[in-house]
Amino acid sequence: MTDETAREQQDGPPALRSFLDLLRIEELDKNLFRGSCHAGAPLRAFGGQVAAQALTAGGRTLDTERAVHSLHGYFLRPGDPTRPIVYEVERIRDGVSYATRRVTAVQRGEVIFTLSASFKRGEESTDRRPTMPPVPGPEELPNPFQAREEAEEADPSSASGFHSLDIRFLPDDAPGIPPEIPGVPQQFVWLRSRSPLPPDDQLLQVCALTYLSDLTLASTTALHLQRPRLQRTEPPATTVTLASLDHAMWFHRPFRADQWLLFAQRSPSAADGRGLALGEFYDRDGVLVASAVQETLLRERHRT
């Protein structure tokens, strides 16, 4: 046991210093890992961090020649941000080109999240992709986390982990944004890790993007009811219960999660207490690097 591990067991998880700390997990045994997650909502672990740590655990059981190309996760119970999470990895398949891992996240003997991820060796093929919308860059847009950062500086115990990233919302009327299709609300967001990430560690880059993908995709399903919390200045007209049910991602091309990525999101359906959101990630060169799909629990209660 290292001195750092001993301190973690005695004093709890160390303070967050950079984005890398959000993905850090401890190897307990073969196929067994442990991590800690900050809160995304009061008393609930942030789902994007749980998914990212689960993917980290699965990826650490493979050689670096295989890169993750897809993941599918289900959020089964709220995670407790005050307690560690144990990640159990099953080595489902190791083929010549493809490998599959299943990861189960457990707290207090109960499964809170499951993840299936597929990895593959790189190969040459034709390349086809769409064109990124010609929207403005992130440099001149406001930082919606500014007020939260100031609060965390005043009270470090309130740190959420979000201070280690950058996010910029594009206004609805920004030039280059495609016209909104009736019944399909959309939003465009620039995202990146604020702290540098190792450029040669593609698993870490993918896990970082998995974390980032859960920041705004769920809120897209509720855009017909309210603006995202980071953009609201007044209480919404209705009370909305919003939670992730499942999350899927496909990684098409290499990228850097510590460089700006445009997250183009739209929601084609909301019904039966559920919402569906689709998202595409583009790098600054306009190259499509990843896609994401999320279904949410979406319930509306009118204020009385």
Catalytically active residues are 214, 244, 294
The kind and range of the H/E element at 88 are strand 85-94
Please choose, from the candidates 4, 60, 3, 51, the residue with its C-alpha nearest in 3D space to the C-alpha of residue 27.
60
Please choose, from the candidates 253, 237, 247, the residue with its C-alpha nearest in 3D space to the C-alpha of residue 297.
247
The kind and range of the H/E element at 220 are helix 217-220
CB 90 within 8 A of CB 115: no
Residues paired with 87 in a beta bridge? 33, 105
From CA 275, how far away is CA 273, in angstroms rounded? 7
CB 191 within 8 A of CB 263: yes
Please name the amino acid found at residue 211: Y
CB 25 within 8 A of CB 55: no
Please choose, from the candidates 88, 84, 89, the residue with its C-alpha nearest in 3D space to the C-alpha of residue 107.
84
Which DSSP category does 172 fall into?
T
The HSE-up count of residue 29 (CA atoms within 13 Å, CB side) is 4
From CA 70, how far away is CA 68, in angstroms rounded? 6
